Amino acid sequence: MIPLAFAHEGTQVKVVKINAGKGPSRRLTELGIIPGAILKIVKAQGPGPVIIEVCNSKEASFLCNSCTLKCNTAYGWRIVLSFGMAMKVLVQELM
């Protein structure tokens, strides 16, 4: 497991755990970033913001056009997270 902020650009990752307080955890959940969600790293350079695309979550089975997963473009959305917030999300890279 690595923090989301350290994942490589262009890779797909699976959210394993969120190490955040009640407020930040709730906000991430509202954005679809929950354990089991599949994310694509769009941009992650150094100690700056991280741009991700939410591709799949436990709540819905869908596919983003930019990912290799099956989903509907209406459900693939991009989110910008601060470096600090991205450090609280632990992920596992998918092959």
pLDDT digits (tens, 9 = 90+) for 5-36: 999 999 999 999 999 999 999 999 988 899 99
Mean pLDDT of 44-58: 83
Ramachandran area for residue 32 (φ above 0: left; ψ -120 to 50: alpha; else beta): left
2-3 and 38-44 beta bridge pairing: unpaired
What is the extent of the structural domain holding 27?
2-93
Which helix (H) or strand (E) segment holds residue 42: the answer is strand 38-44
CATH number at residue 10: 2.30.30.90
pLDDT digits (tens, 9 = 90+) for 61-76: 444 444 555 444 445 7
The tally of domains found in the chain comes to: 1
